[in-house]
Structure 1
Amino acid sequence: MTAGKLLSLSAALVVVMLLTGCVMTEKYEAEKARALNFQRLLAQEEKRTGDLDSELKRVKRESVDLEARNRELSAQVQAVREQLQRIQEEAAAMRDAAMLKEQEALSKPRKSVIKPKRQDKNVLGEEPRQMMEPLPPASTPESSAMSAESGSPRYHQVKPGETLYRLSRQYGVDVATLKSWNNLGGNQLEVGQKLIVGHQ
């Protein structure tokens, strides 16, 4: 009876040991698998961290390049603005100089020959021919000059576009008399020139 109990106990002990060994093996395998999985995840995270670090370095390099390019473009824009400002100042100075020169030219009598305007020719019609032709004998230069020189002379300052013929019609004096009063050898007039056009 005692031997049978011992055998039963021995068998039970063996079974317990076998079961314990199986459980320990399963736990070991599970821990091993979990450790491998953790290592794999850690390797993935390290790789991802490395990729992110490389990307960050690339972005930093690009940022530095962009900043340098931005500074270069800003310098170019500033240079263009300064050049444009200089051009505007030079243009303003040239414009002022031209206006001053024009004002000086207008304030001084011009020595250019006064030519009849095209409109004046159209309005007056036969003006050139009439300027060259003497007036009828009834109003000869000698008689007109003698009758008109009884008072003080009346002056007229020549303006652009005026001719002897126009002045003769304006003041009722023939061209030859105007030439005689003003010692004119031809029909050319100068702007600003003072002419005797009659007597008061």
Structure 2
Amino acid sequence: MCAAEDSAAPATAPATAEAPGWSGGVSAYLNLPRGSESYVTGIAIAKRGALHLEARSNYEGMDAYSFFVGYNLGWGDALRLDFTPILGVVTGSVHSVVGGFEATLTGRHFDAYVEFEYVPDAEPSGYAYAWSELAWRPRDWLRLGLAAQRTHVPDNGRNLQRGVFAQVKGKHISGAVYWFNPAADDQIAVVSVALSF
């Protein structure tokens, strides 16, 4: 981003580029699978210009910790696509190099989000993890929609968890409730809180 020239500066003053500031956030997801022990998934993200840094816990598996670096790309205004390829490592209960991406498509009253990663060394063979949301925004502070996740945590025998969610958003804080497999015995409720800066 280029800084606007100061109208009070002399005409001969050189234009300077303003360094982009840091942005990001932290979020916690309390997972409440029916009939199983609850657990928390944590995600922390920091961005500066094109640089994307991210850390996750209990995402690829229980007691697994992953760290990523990525490159932020974006196109469009009224209909905007933000795309971030990421590359990282996972350690703890799972050890592997991890590749993936995060993408958001945003329109006037809707948005779609997907995060995807492939863990080639996951047991017993490589595994693809994904979280996706398709949302309608009737108000700036409210998102309602469909969600899906492909994960080994919890290990309930389902390859894909499907559900619904509702999210309320403030300037720097948001909260959401997800309900996966609502018509099945292996339902999962997820309550999330996120802080942004």
Q: Say which structure, 1 or 2, has more relative contact order (CA 8 Å, 6+ apart).
A: 1
Q: As a proportion of its length, which structure holds more helix?
A: 1
Q: Which has the larger radius of gyration?
A: 1
Q: As a proportion of its length, which structure holds more strand?
A: 2
TM-score (norm 1): 0.20
TM-score (norm 2): 0.20
